[in-house]
Structure 1
Amino acid sequence: MKKITGFILLLVSTAASAQTGGAKAIVTRYHNIFNAPPVKTPGTVAVDAPLLGNGYTAAAMAGPPEAQYYYLARNDFWRLKSGFNESYPAVLGRLSICFPALKGAAYRVVQDLYTATTKSSFIKEATAVQLTSILSAAEDMLLITVTNTGATALEGNMALELPGKDQFHINPPLENKFEDVVHKGTDKTGAVWIERGFAKDVDLPTKATAACKLVGNDRQTLSVLPGQTVYLACAFSGNFKSKDPLSSVLHRVNSFTIAAFNKMTAQHQAWWNDYWNKSFVHIGDSITEHQYYRSLYNMAACSRDPRFPPGIFGSWVTREIPAWNGDYHLNYNYSAPFYALYGANRLEQALPYEAPLLGFIKRGRYYSQKITGISQGILYPVGIGPLGIETTRKNALMEKCRPGYIKSGEAEDEGLFFGQKSNAAYGAVNLSMQFYRTYDKTFTQRVYPYIKAVALFWEKYLKKENGRYIIENDAIHEGTIGTLNPVLSLGLVPMVLKTAIDMSTFLGVDKTLRSSWQGKADSLAGYTTQEREGRTVFRYSEKGTAWWGDNTLGIQHIYPAGAIGLNSDPGLLKVAHNTIDAMRRWKDFNGSNSFFPAAVRVGYDADTILKELHAYSLHTYPNGFQLNNPHGIENCSTVPNTINEMLCMGHQGVLRVFAVWPKNKDAAFTNIRSEGAFLISSAIRNKEVQYLKIISEQGRTVTLQNPWPGKELVIRSNKRRDFRGSGNRVLIPTSKGETLSILPLPESKVPRVALLPKG
């Protein structure tokens, strides 16, 4: 077998040579560059500022050169009160660094994505300064160096401030300033601190604190000589992290040294180095590739706290009350930012997603029983928060300011549903993605109660009619009351039932429930079609809404529900293609994050997808948020998810590489996470796939679409002797921790070895 082994090692080494530098060689090319101060920061929607974050605390940078502001917020700092417009992620305050002599200076901020380091340079003739900022991934601290890069001395000051007037959005009676508890001060060492919380008329009290100090200095003034650097450290905490958060932050800044500053900076960079190397791609389009990596940067910067995931605007809440309460909006907004994380192998950033869904189960059971009479299921409203909080619950404010919700039936009992029954099923999407890509038993045990409850709801809610099961009174769009068989739910429901079956089998529980779940999935009503522009396309519902002028609900049964793919009936795929053509929602206000991957899943023209994705990537602020789109982080999934699906698709039980990728376009990827708990690496060059590497985490069987049609495969394992496979599809059993290196077999060079069965 030495000939086979040597042959594979030679070709794999050659094919992978373009990526020997790892993620660093790729990601270090990309920077977010700001040549003018932000104009939409602070704001109640997505901001245009440089974004810093570590998944717990965030800072959005704004202001002119002479007055730089770091707007501060924390994932775990909310006003927690179940009630319409009464609960939201809150602002903590801001840190300011001011040098009056820099008024009128040139402005330039450059963010290095690879090291998550932001350098702000302000120059006015001989007066100049550079601020270097990180929000440490190693500990909850903002570290800033202030370097005088000019020829004249600089005099300024720093201040840590409670939220000012510019951080409140007050529009009574709908948006109000709720009573808070605020304190601020300076301790004997010169450390300044702020504390803000909500304790009155809330369901759960909250508190957040920050303390800031010049390292090794008891002054708050900034006197910086030419060539000199001063160090500033700001620590954060809250009542969910510490029993005494104020003492915690003061202790951290008062014990901080320049040596600790440098050590933490190195730890921060090491964390980001590890983050980028979890998975990476190289696709030869710098515009799209830049958007790919800054999208993943933003998700790392806002999603790490296991109990408090980011809301609509990520961690960058700069003004109260943010639009849509900045909450977890369950009719797609909450789910969408996480779509890309599973394929991109960023499971730490995906972890927080489950917490609010699991925390709301008790209330979901109440609504299921009260509204539909289904005792074991769960029914979720449109808006929830962390720790079981319901952000859209009917209250006096809704009755006064939004009576139409109640009169129209969009509010049922105490919940705001807009007529939609699908919110909990939509919440299951990402849990299903993570299950099939990890087969992690601990994760599955945690989330199975939720999946089971959603499945039980739909098992009872479906109604049998003429040999099929139908979905009644489930709005396709908000407020379209009375819809029959909405196309989204026709995709979501079988996804939920299949996931429940596979999870229960995996865990060895609830065997008696599976046959009913399977029967309902098998006999669910089919999709309704219609004619538009001379083509057959999907109808949004069988009865009710037929079409919609924006949004992408017309294809969300394809993605994220996953009901249609390359293995589907050709006639169904044709209708899917026609619907993509008719909708053309590449730059949709809401749904681009599902439209692009849906196009990939059904094998739409790859050149068109990449062309539109390039245009989409140009339509952004420098921080990566979509230009003039208020929706924040939901668009962070669009580019990385689409690219990963184009390069490596594990949908419908078949692993395909470069299946929806232009064959004349070189590309490479490392460790894309695929269904079956496989990490996949490959490259295409000169129209030929160069190699395929599969790491099996759980020892499952992979069904591989042969990347070299008509050729036999040589498969090298780190755990067993080399073997061969052939056919259009190759079934390859694996063991846990096994690494497979796969290449086509040139008959003249390699002797015959063990042959796998054809797929």
Structure 2
Amino acid sequence: MNTHKVFVFGLALLGASLLKAQSVMDTYKAVFTSPPQHVPTTKTPDAPLAGNGDIGITMGGTPDKLCFYIGKNDFWRAYPVYPGGIALPGGLDITIDELRGASYHAEQLPGSAEITAKFSNTYCELKLSAWVAATDNKVVIELQSNKVVTARLRLWAAEGNTSTTAQGLGKVMWVSRSFENTELLRWPTHVALALNSSTDELSLVPGKKMQLVVSAYTNHDTPDWKNKAIAEAGKVSETTIEQLRKKHHVWWNNFWKQSHINIGDSYFEKYYYQSQYLFACSSREGKFAPGIWGPFVTRDEAAWGGDYHLNYNYQAPYWGAFSSNHISLTDNFDQPLLDYMEAGRKHAQELLDCRGIYYPVGIGPKGLCTAMWPLTPEEMLEKYATRENTIDGGYKFLGQKINAVFSVGNMLMRHYSTYDKAYARKVYPYLVACADFWEDYLSLENGRYVIHMDHFNEVMPNKRNGGIWRNRLGDFNSTLSLGLVRMLFQGVMDMSDFLSVDRVRQSHWQDILEKLSEYPLGTTEDGRQSLKNMEKGPQNKDVQPSGLNRVSIHGLILPGGVAGPVTDAKFNAILLNDVAHWADKQRDPNDWGNTSNNGIETCYPGAVRVGYPSDKILSYLKKRIEMNVYPNYWIVQGGGGIETFAAVPLTINEMLLQSYEGVIRVFPNWNRGKDASFENLRAYGAFLVTSAFKQGEVQGVAILSEKGRICKIENPWKGQPVQVTRGNKKSDILYGEYLQIPTAAGEKIELNLYTNQ
């Protein structure tokens, strides 16, 4: 068999499928046969969703009383205590009495990025399409009825929570909502919604499609936010809508062409692509970063303020985007962290007498802290069963010093994935500020660096513990902290080399890496070695090994990336054994890894990386999904929202391609009896990788080198020679377990099994 020809043919088929991205992706649609039950909500909505990474729409209500909730990532009540945080701008109600009791059928289409619906009863049938323009601040809703019916329209702004509202009617209908002049408000936010209608009643007639367009702007978009929303709504025409539609389809087609997988499993492929659709609806380059619930906010007082929760919730939604080659979706991640640096330096100096930055658990945009304790002792007593509201200067650090470093993981993922010099220059000061802090905070004792009082879990007073919490302080050498600190110093050294700066500091950073305490291990009752959450607990107490779990995965694997089969095979074997015993500790038979509250996006890809069998992981993952998922394919967990969008894409990508230890591995954890293929998954080193696995053998590997770095790849054909092809010309024949291949920027190379034919 000529392996090279077979591989190229396989890639041609993949390319052809991507040319039909929209129609192919729409086959992975979500179908709704009844109205949503969890809208409005302070958490995850179960309704049809669409968005453009800034504006999101949630279609609530019944056929006769539809409500489109309009959320926006930059509409915040910039108040430092909950219920500060993300807020709801408003929405559009569409009431059609003739549809009372109508059947409900809606679809969420990832390819065309729209919601379609059909409602019918014995009197009439209504068809609906709703989408958020990918390249504009507009929501488009199209209605068509087979009978004459009247649609009553109500454009509304949410009220309360110290906001002020206004409305007007002229050529268009408009409403506005503002947060300003409230004591302690850090900055004002205004939003205007304008509808291209001068009347609140719309007559639908057979054969004619009626198009409603809502234009939405905040003062963070433009100083002229209200006039711009009104003016643009007034300019809407069929021509402008068609122009918007074309740009919308171009954007989404290009998005779906950025990468592709085929694993022969329609169930997981649907979750893979719907999850990526939902994240692309939630995050966009040049816009405010999404909070815990993205732009799908359906009422004020969203849980945890819908803020940027820094001990994993904020970081996790982005994890699947790096390897899926959707880098632009990650572009907004860094700005809130950079904006908070001045405050972080003040916290470090005033609270811990350290240089560098020290971040609380929750922040928002533009230097906002969302996570302060209640401002009065009385409110503190009511909510947390203690009057002490001056803990840590009034800020919620919750016993954790590591919050700022958590985000370094995402910065390093992007750096290693792109080797973009401009990006490295942008975030390097943040990494150095984290290094400054930990140089001061680490303690050198008996020849090793140790970490005092940085806690594995959040520690805080609450009503359950009667407001008593200090007896829970005292973690020593938390596994989470040891992993993330190791990640930090290795990463800052790598970026220092890449930018050719701060070389004089590297000897100290290297000393920290060499002398940092080892990860704590213990012996279980059945005599096996197992990971401990920390070396010692509060009051210097011994702790029993609890095995690899969600929080320790954060330190070691995601985002830590400091453990694995190449880094330390012996230690990885211990972690793999811990994963093999997860079933022993399940609280629910369908909840392997105990992720019902948090961690589905962490535990499952973590299990892949340490080498647990892929088929078992997928079997457990399916049970966990079915345990709590909504019809819109949003996997639900108790402690957070959009982070679950990373769960399936990241788990599948890690089975097909890994590169986090500086070595590319194709199909590293894939059932050798199942065919699969992928195109343009992104590997560390700024490589785009394409490969296919068929009949138990890798068919070939194509690699596009963006930056001309040396490509180190594990031999896909163990123990056999590999033919390298450059520019359609065969070049080297390589041997060995690991192949090191020099590349040039923009060069495409192919690897195939050498057959001597």
Shorter-chain TM-score above 0.5: yes
1:611: Cα distance to partner? Answer: 1.5
1:532: Cα distance to partner? Answer: 3.5
Does the aligned pair in 2 maintain the 1:551–1:591 contact within 8 Å? no
What residue in structure 2 maps to residue 416 of structure 1?
A: 396
1:575: Cα distance to partner? Answer: 1.2
- With normalisation by structure 2, the TM-score equals 0.92
What residue in structure 1 maps to residue 463 of structure 2?
A: none
Aligned match for 2:650, one of 641, 644, 663? 641
What residue in structure 2 maps to residue 19 of structure 1?
A: 14
What residue in structure 2 maps to residue 498 of structure 1?
A: 490
Aligned match for 1:50, one of 48, 72, 83? 48
What residue in structure 1 maps to residue 150 of structure 2?
A: 155
Distance in 2 between residues matched to 1:313 and 1:631, nearest whole Å: 8
3-state SS, counterpart of residue 695 of structure 1? strand
Aligned match for 2:603, one of 595, 607, 610? 595
1:204: Cα distance to partner? Answer: 0.7
Amino acid at match of 1:482: G
Distance in 2 between residues matched to 1:548 and 1:58, nearest whole Å: 41
Counterparts of 1:196-595 in structure 2, within 5 Å, are 196-201=177-182, 202-214=185-197, 218-304=198-284, 306-375=286-355, 377-397=356-376, 400-401=379-380, 404=384, 411-479=391-459, 480-532=472-524, 534=526, 535-544=528-537, 546=544, 552-556=550-554, 557-583=556-582, 584-585=592-593, 587-595=595-603
Question: What do the CA deviations read for 1:210-251 (whole angstroms, capped 9, x no partner)?
Answer: 10114xxx4432211223211111111110111211111111
Q: Which moved more, 1:11-20 or 1:221-230?
A: 11-20
Q: CA distance change for structure 1 residues 156 and 344 in 2, over 3 Å: closer, same or farther?
A: same
Distance in 2 between residues matched to 1:21 and 1:533, nearest whole Å: 56
Distance in 2 between residues matched to 1:742 and 1:338, nearest whole Å: 30
Does the aligned pair in 2 maintain the 1:410–1:419 contact within 8 Å? no
3-state SS, counterpart of residue 156 of structure 1? strand
Does the aligned pair in 2 maintain the 1:649–1:655 contact within 8 Å? yes
Amino acid at match of 2:492: A
Distance in 1 between residues matched to 2:728 and 2:709, nearest whole Å: 15
What residue in structure 2 maps to residue 138 of structure 1?
A: 135
Distance in 1 between residues matched to 2:423 and 2:677, nearest whole Å: 30
What residue in structure 2 maps to residue 693 of structure 1?
A: 702
3-state SS, counterpart of residue 318 of structure 2? helix
Distance in 1 between residues matched to 2:285 and 2:422, nearest whole Å: 18
Q: Which moved more, 1:44-53 or 1:551-560?
A: 551-560
Q: CA distance change for structure 1 residues 627 and 328 in 2, over 3 Å: closer, same or farther?
A: closer
Q: CA distance change for structure 1 residues 219 and 394 in 2, over 3 Å: closer, same or farther?
A: closer
Amino acid at match of 1:425: V
What residue in structure 2 maps to residue 167 of structure 1?
A: none
3-state SS, counterpart of residue 601 of structure 2? helix
1:122 and 2:101 correspond: no
Aligned match for 2:736, one of 706, 719, 727? 727
What residue in structure 2 maps to residue 181 of structure 1?
A: 164
Question: What do the CA deviations read for 1:687-745 (whole angstroms, capped 9, x no partner)?
Answer: 11111110111110011101111221121223976322221111001111111111111
3-state SS, counterpart of residue 33 of structure 1? strand
Distance in 2 between residues matched to 1:224 and 1:493, nearest whole Å: 62
Distance in 2 between residues matched to 1:720 and 1:409, nearest whole Å: 70
Aligned match for 2:619, one of 611, 623, 627? 611
Does the aligned pair in 1 maintain the 2:378–2:387 contact within 8 Å? no
Aligned match for 1:659, one of 657, 665, 668? 668
What residue in structure 2 maps to residue 3 of structure 1?
A: none
Distance in 2 between residues matched to 1:399 and 1:477, nearest whole Å: 27
Does the aligned pair in 1 maintain the 2:475–2:534 contact within 8 Å? yes
Does the aligned pair in 1 maintain the 2:173–2:199 contact within 8 Å? no
3-state SS, counterpart of residue 76 of structure 1? coil
Distance in 2 between residues matched to 1:255 and 1:34, nearest whole Å: 34
Amino acid at match of 2:606: A
Does the aligned pair in 1 maintain the 2:196–2:236 contact within 8 Å? no
Distance in 2 between residues matched to 1:394 and 1:223, nearest whole Å: 52
Q: CA distance change for structure 1 residues 548 and 330 in 2, over 3 Å: closer, same or farther?
A: farther
1:586: Cα distance to partner? Answer: 5.8
3-state SS, counterpart of residue 534 of structure 2? coil
Question: What do the CA deviations read for 1:561-600 (whole angstroms, capped 9, x no partner)?
Answer: 1121121333212210122123341644111211112111
What residue in structure 2 maps to residue 684 of structure 1?
A: 693
Distance in 1 between residues matched to 2:377 and 2:363, nearest whole Å: 16
Q: CA distance change for structure 1 residues 194 and 602 in 2, over 3 Å: closer, same or farther?
A: same
Q: CA distance change for structure 1 residues 548 and 326 in 2, over 3 Å: closer, same or farther?
A: farther
1:606: Cα distance to partner? Answer: 1.7
Question: What do the CA deviations read for 1:71-110 (whole angstroms, capped 9, x no partner)?
Answer: 11111110113x2215211111111111101010000111
Q: Figure out how many residues of one structure are paired with residues of the other and give that number.
A: 722
Does the aligned pair in 2 maintain the 1:405–1:411 contact within 8 Å? no
3-state SS, counterpart of residue 536 of structure 2? coil
Aligned match for 1:192, one of 159, 173, 179? 173
Identity %: 33
Distance in 1 between residues matched to 2:298 and 2:173, nearest whole Å: 21
3-state SS, counterpart of residue 562 of structure 2? coil
Q: CA distance change for structure 1 residues 85 and 607 in 2, over 3 Å: closer, same or farther?
A: same
3-state SS, counterpart of residue 16 of structure 1? helix
Amino acid at match of 2:615: D
3-state SS, counterpart of residue 388 of structure 1? coil
Distance in 2 between residues matched to 1:548 and 1:122, nearest whole Å: 52
3-state SS, counterpart of residue 61 of structure 1? strand
- With normalisation by structure 1, the TM-score equals 0.92
Distance in 1 between residues matched to 2:682 and 2:406, nearest whole Å: 22
Counterparts of 1:625-636 in structure 2, within 5 Å, are 625-627=634-636, 629=638, 631-636=640-645
Q: CA distance change for structure 1 residues 726 and 28 in 2, over 3 Å: closer, same or farther?
A: farther
Q: CA distance change for structure 1 residues 626 and 9 in 2, over 3 Å: closer, same or farther?
A: closer
- Unpaired stretches in structure 1, ≥5 consecutive residues: 1-5, 165-176, 750-759
Distance in 2 between residues matched to 1:610 and 1:207, nearest whole Å: 45
Aligned match for 1:623, one of 627, 632, 644? 632
Q: CA distance change for structure 1 residues 306 and 482 in 2, over 3 Å: closer, same or farther?
A: farther
What residue in structure 2 maps to residue 174 of structure 1?
A: none
Does the aligned pair in 1 maintain the 2:275–2:646 contact within 8 Å? yes
Amino acid at match of 2:173: V
Question: What do the CA deviations read for 1:456-503 (whole angstroms, capped 9, x no partner)?
Answer: 111221111221111111110011421000011111001011111111
1:636: Cα distance to partner? Answer: 0.6
Aligned match for 1:66, one of 64, 67, 73? 64
3-state SS, counterpart of residue 196 of structure 2? strand
Amino acid at match of 1:266: K
